Amino acid sequence: MKRQIGTGLAVLAAISMTACSSSGGTGAADTSGGSKTEGEVKQIVLWGPSSEPAVETWWTETINAFNEQYAGQYELSRESIVRSNSYAYEDKINSAITSHDLPDILMLDGPNVASYAANGIIIPLDSYVAQEDKDDLVASSLEQNTYNGSLYAMSNTESSVALFYNKDMVEAAQIQVPDKLEDAWTWSEFYEAAKKLTTDSVAGTNIIMDKGEGIPYVMEQFWISNGTDFTNPEGSKADGYLNSEKGIEAADFLNSLIQDGLANIEPIPKEFHNGKAATALTGCWEVKTLNNEYPDLNWGVTYFPVADDGTSSSPTGDWTMTITVDSQDPEAAAAALNFLTSKENAASYADAQGKPPARKSSYDVLSQYDEMPMAIFKEQLLNTGHARPRTPSYTVLSPQISEAMMNIFTGADVRESLDKAAEAFDKDFEKNYAQ
């Protein structure tokens, strides 16, 4: 297995936080390196990004429950690392890769699983995870966590993006919003609605979640809906896909929203929340934020727009748990991982996060996904969700696409920008991962 970090992983810290990132909280006491044995008790160490208080409480209670159940056999500890707008988490991982001092269990953002698997930094889980647990994962999560036919990660949560809208503005403009997936706005209908909703003080829509991972996370669906993708299905080639005629059409459409003044290239923070954008393509996690922090905003959610002659597609992916190559006792690590991602704990974790669960069985106990607005995210996840490209060069692809789209939005040639991004990806894959 490879241990030398390829170009893709070397630039991991250069990628901005994903739209599905965790934030807040404080770092725990120092716990580093893989499993160790103290007396008869095997110590298991987990690293993950810090989260909001409700999720930190879940971690504390669940780890305590594991340690109580396995008292005298295993003891699990977790280092909670503040991620925020810095790269402390990625920097710590990269340092540990070099020094061979990774923890037993490492949390990764979903699209990075392939990079870590290809570089031999995490191990396959097929012999540690029961088939019924694999089968319980929603299709997009199983796809995200699989590389070269082997399962490398287990998830508790998924994500989805839909079109949030200001009900008061939409009603004032006499716009009918779709309430069925088969009636989702086409790109043309989305454009016309945004145009009608745009005023001197309000943008018709917000399409830029952030200028880092948020761009490929959300915008890939415009490629997929239009009949192509960022890469080929094998994740080994972008030329002819990202920069295909269908890809150029997708980029042209997104650019038209910016160039025609319907969306801002520099949106203010919480533009939709603050009533400065009438609609916004954003994630399921905003439901909790809107309910808790913006109680006076009258809002709703409808489906992700679809290409005029295309098929519906929506973003997916979230943080996941892996076992590293540095774990001295993978069986002990697997016991902890299986406990943390059990049916019961997966459901309670998803509930604390306010994100759709990655297990199908969790929907049987989380009734909020049978009601609006969460029902839309469940429907999209189960019917139109697509994982980001499963490729070890994703950590090159992501920043290249973000740069290309921001360049396009500021006037650069669409074809040239996409050609450059495709070429950079193909060179990295050929150099580091081609057989």
3-state class (DSSP) for residue 280: strand
Q: Which residues of the chain have pLDDT under 70?
A: 1-39, 84-87
Q: Give the tokens for residue 189.
A: 């209908």
Provide the pairing of β-strand 279-283 with 161-166: antiparallel
Rounded CA separation 227/307 (Å): 9
What is the pLDDT at residue 177? 98
What is the pLDDT at residue 39? 65
Contact (CB, 8 A) for 116 and 322: yes
3-state class (DSSP) for residue 94: helix
3-state class (DSSP) for residue 302: strand
Q: Which 8-state DSSP code applies to residue 156?
A: S
What is the pLDDT at residue 89? 85
Burial class (CB in 10 A: 0-12, 13-18, 19+), 98: exposed
Instruction: Report which of 397, 385, 81, 52 is spatially closest to residue 213, judged by C-alpha positions.
Output: 397
Rounded CA separation 373/75 (Å): 40
CA of 422: how far to CAs of 230, 240, 425, in Å?
8, 8, 5
What is the pLDDT at residue 435? 79
3-state class (DSSP) for residue 16: coil
Rounded CA separation 354/316 (Å): 15
Q: Give the tokens for residue 256.
A: 């038209």
Condensed to tens digits (0 to 9), the pLDDT of residues 349-389 reads: 999 999 999 999 999 999 999 999 999 999 999 999 999 99
Rounded CA separation 317/200 (Å): 36
Q: Give the tokens for residue 350.
A: 């998803």
Rounded CA separation 125/130 (Å): 9
Condensed to tens digits (0 to 9), the pLDDT of residues 275-319 reads: 999 999 999 999 999 999 999 999 999 999 999 999 999 999 999
Residue 155 identity (one-letter amino acid): S
Q: Which 8-state DSSP code applies to residue 335?
A: H
For the whole model, what pTM was predicted?
Answer: 0.90
Q: Which residue has the tokens 């570089």?
A: 119
Q: Give the CA diameter of the chain.
A: 71
